[in-house]
Amino acid sequence: MRVATGRASLSDGRMFSVVVEGYGIGRQRQAQRTFNLPFNQLQGMVQMVARQGWRILSVTPVESAENSNTPPGSVPAAAPATQPASEPVPAAPSAPPAAKPAVTHAPSHAAVPVNTYKPKDPFVGTVIENYSLVGEGAIGRVNHITFDLAGGEPQLQYLEGQSIGIIPEGTDANGKPHKLRLYSIASTRHGDNMAGHTVSLCVRQLQYEKDGETINGVCSTYLCDIEPGAKVKITGPVGKEMLLPDDEDANVIMLATGTGIAPMRTYLRRMFEPTERETNGWHFRGKAWLFMGAPKTPNLLYDADFELYQSAFPDNFRYTKAISREQENARGGRMYIQDRVLEHADEIFAMIENPKTHVYMCGLKGMEPGIDEAMSAAAAAKGLDWAELRPALKKAERWHVETY
Ligand code: NAP
């Protein structure tokens, strides 16, 4: 590791460029990422990297010209971009042209691509990679699967927060082709490799017991088992519920359980992943707060990335976990995200009072009543009525829910 901090002292306001290598679990590739940090954040970053079992390759002072206008945790303005700085705006094959007036702080729906590929004529993509997202001792299988969309006429383009359909190979019990299943997209519009023509999913293999037999979900098993090079029928994109606001000053509260993390990963990469920021030119300055629910620590999906973002952007990103089978709530029961919401009710409500704050919920349908209960209690403590507030937030397009 090369460390060159020069004359730095605690009162030194200079920025340092930290190159971090390696992340994730299992077969995830090694990746190098560069974050710019002020001196007083370096120690926290070093400790976090050591905890994750990663490596710091170098720490170098950032030139003062860049320094003066580079906020903490950001990538240097002069860093080479893998794509032009101007972000491609996807075509909108079936979106109405700016049908309604823009609602302040709400995501723009005008240029949202939908149904570029329909079930009768799907796009045939190629699997690029498929790796496990869970650690040893995790419950079940959850994989990250990436498809190449290159060569599509038109190209399937999508935005953060949308979903795609997958039509599994084979036929059902009646000999009919399988129907499509929808999955929330887990990559930003630029794809994990920034090439602009891939899409990734985060898929849990569905398994349940029936008459003493373990039944495996058709499409989720097909996807978890699929090999690189395989061809897959893809439809979509669909969905306008979970779009991220364009406003760089928005605040974003995210409530996710399990694979419901997929859209949240797209938002967080868009906000904090260095190569993504270089490419998208969208410099998020608001506050993002992720509440993530998982049964066990090895089931926390993309955990290492989120820890890294929190370390690099402590003023902009907060990460709160509810690990149901390892942590207890105040009543001695399983710790769910609604328990975490209750714990932080005051801060959450203070954020929600700001019209720039959006709340996103994705994952198990079962969490909705619990979140509502927690929000009702928190609202009541402030003399507010959640039954009135929630529809108002929904109407303002600041309350976004997608649960199955
Ligand atoms: P998982 O890894 O099993 O984690 C789910 C977590 O939520 C566990 O900690 C679980 O706790 C907890 N939980 C259970 N009941 C809850 C409740 N009533 N309130 C709050 N938390 C609760 O999750 P998963 O298997 O991936 O499931 C994710 C779900 O999200 C699936 O149903 C999937 O279909 C859905 N999903 C929806 C979308 C979408 O709508 N776009 C996208 C992706 C996923 P315990 O098990 O320990 O009780």
- For residue range 142-151, what is the model confidence (pLDDT) as tens digits? 999 999 999 9
CB 149 within 8 A of CB 229: no
Domain ranges of the chain: 1-76, 123-238, 243-404
Structure tokens at 134: 């869970």
Q: Is 357 in the pocket of ligand 1 (CB under 6 A)?
A: no
Domain covering 243-404, topology: Rossmann fold (3.40.50)
**pTM of the entire structure?**
0.88
CB 202 within 8 A of CB 187: no
Could you identify the atom of ligand 1 that is nearest to the CA of residue 261? Answer: 43
Q: Reply yes or no on whether 183 is catalytic.
A: yes
Does 103 or 255 have the greater pLDDT score? 255
Does 45 or 145 have the greater pLDDT score? 145
- 294 burial via Cβ count (<10 Å: 0-12, 13-18, 19+): buried
Q: Is 296 in the pocket of ligand 1 (CB under 6 A)?
A: no
Cis status of the peptide bond prior to 154, with omega within 30 of 0: yes
DSSP 86: S
Model confidence pLDDT, tens digit, residues 311-321: 999 999 999 99
Q: Is the pLDDT of residue 222 over 70?
A: yes
The rounded Å distance from CA 321 to ligand 1 centre is 13
Model confidence pLDDT, tens digit, residues 380-404: 888 889 999 999 999 999 999 999 8
**pLDDT-above-90 percentage for the chain:** 70
Q: Which among 219, 247, 257 has a CA at the least distance from the CA of 339?
A: 257
CA-CA distance, 363 to 105, in Å (whole number)? 24
Q: Which among 18, 50, 57 has a CA at the least distance from the CA of 34?
A: 18
Does 188 or 83 have the greater pLDDT score? 188
Q: Reply yes or no on whether 319 is catalytic.
A: no
Cα–Cα separations (whole angstroms), residue 303 to 133, 347, 359: 9, 23, 20
CB 70 within 8 A of CB 48: no
Could you identify the atom of ligand 1 that is nearest to the CA of residue 163? Answer: 41
Task: Please give the average per-residue pLDDT across 47-56, as a whole number.
Answer: 85
Model confidence pLDDT, tens digit, residues 325-349: 999 999 999 999 999 999 998 899 8
Domain covering 123-238, topology: Elongation Factor Tu (Ef-tu); domain 3 (2.40.30)
Q: What is the pLDDT of residue 234?
A: 98
Ligand 1: residue whose CA is nearest its atom 46: 295
Q: Is 257 in the pocket of ligand 1 (CB under 6 A)?
A: yes
Kindly report the average pLDDT of the chain as a whole number.
87
Q: What is the pLDDT of residue 111?
A: 81
Model confidence pLDDT, tens digit, residues 71-115: 555 544 333 333 434 465 454 444 333 333 333 344 556 689 999
Q: Which of 23, 117, 158, 183 is catalytic?
A: 183
Q: Cβ atoms within 10 A of the Cβ of 392, count?
A: 10
